[in-house]
Structure 1
């Protein structure tokens, strides 16, 4: 295994629970044991969660079970012929089976001044620590990107007394992952909280003060937004360089089958770094979610133990912003009909996404029953009556 990712940690924990009789070695370029990443843009950033509470398990638990964590080291090369990996300290380590859980890296802006002090990205604990150290009441924070991470950080910053501006290049927030009704609801939520949210706004560069610290964000309309701190949150790309250099098939992710096996039967891959086959979908998918990382890790554990169980989980996601919990299940990008249940003005509603008469995705805002029922209906590929979904007098549970 490689990296202190949630996927790697879940796999190792699952192998321990199943009493896997062999030694596992987790190699990570981070100095920390596997930890949860969602709180990094939420409670951990707000200072409500201690670092130790993010760890999946104490370091000692892995070693007491007969496994090793080699932290602060990096795998530089895979030798598939001899089944060895070469590490950053020049040592080599042999393997019978190798699992790649290399995760993803943040997309970086290629714009003048993008390397100035005060411009941050958020992917790991160190990133959050660095950002939090520069946030204080009254400061001007500009967030480039109106996706999950950007909006979650915006909500935390506003609560902390900062003046927040969100710059989104697309025509609506969270456009890549949700429909217009959800986007409109969250746009209003953030603006009502006092944020300035500018849509259709592309960043073309950054300006510095006399000390080389970022002082302004230049946008395509010719204006400049004054700033003290910048967070760039424009997505991630799968970390596939190690797999590619080893000759493993990759296409916007390491290609794996429904048992998370790569093109080499001795090498598995899990988490954000993969494009995987799922018996639920016709085409390979790449998912950036906690649920995918956990489910693929469990599939990998079964594969390693010879108990092949194909990966067939329905993708699901969540986001907390202000007093709103958004829960999402399925993939809505190919829908041909949307059905709204409830009224967004009441702060609790859901959008059901249909394709050819059956439910393919649900976005639920403060409406957990819609998420739970929707998860079952999406998994079952059920044909559902649109009027029944929208009618508040019909219990959702009755549709399962």
Structure 2
């Protein structure tokens, strides 16, 4: 509705609808203007990618933790959050080893896996007898996730039908022919249908702006194609019973590549290699609940003070010493660092309430003064 109010051209409306629908819902769904608000933030304060790729951000964070004496453990699958006398005191990992916490446990996985799979039901019920049922029934997921295609290219994409110039290339590209095209791409996923007859997609060619990510003259490309996690009519088959198989994922990827090649005819002969991950594989590799890379839907009823639920939306849980962060908390998914920052502030307030309150007051005054003088 908002897009139709301000724009007439389908050429403009389609990509705007596609960006708004990044929250994993059809653009026609009411309250999806929240997606448009996030879209505005791509311009102010803007988006950026670390030189060398997103992995460079991870490396910087690791160095920051280690410089302060922190230790990061990997390949440690957590099997249970340990609770003693109503307080989270550590975790148990595969093999039985336990790590005890001095001040608390912070979880960055989704609330469903945390409370339903990694905690003793008795511990949760003692803290809040309604929480398990609320987490299980109230937090919703509309079955939308992504099939991801990674390609190594011998040359950059060239959009010959659109007055192509290499200097026009930016990091990300949208393929959205019309608003209805975008609508179908999201609606089909909800009912378990793969929208690959005429694919809409989000494309990133990071080497268009950062050539350090590939050998000289070569490029990398990844494609995000919305697809259902559970394929209707294929329950109990394929990986994790989702219906996804190697044959099917590559068949879908072929159609996505065919569609992109209509825009960039040089694509097919420039592909050196490709790797395809189905929604089920992506979920298995990175631990997404039902393949949802936002943890669960970023619809208005599950945003702001409702994310993931009103009673656990302030990064704290009814269990003393157990905190939540990650994409399943405000302000949601994408790489912003905000869920972690917000959770850290709440955690520090719990440890040093008076000192942190004074620090907050100082920051607020400083920000207000700077804003006043800047406006003048």
Q: Which TM-score applies when normalising by structure 1?
A: 0.30
User: Per residue, is there more strand in 1 or in 2?
Assistant: 1
Larger RCO: 1 or 2 (CA < 8 Å, sep 6+) = 2
User: Per residue, is there more helix in 1 or in 2?
Assistant: 2
Q: Which TM-score applies when normalising by structure 2?
A: 0.31
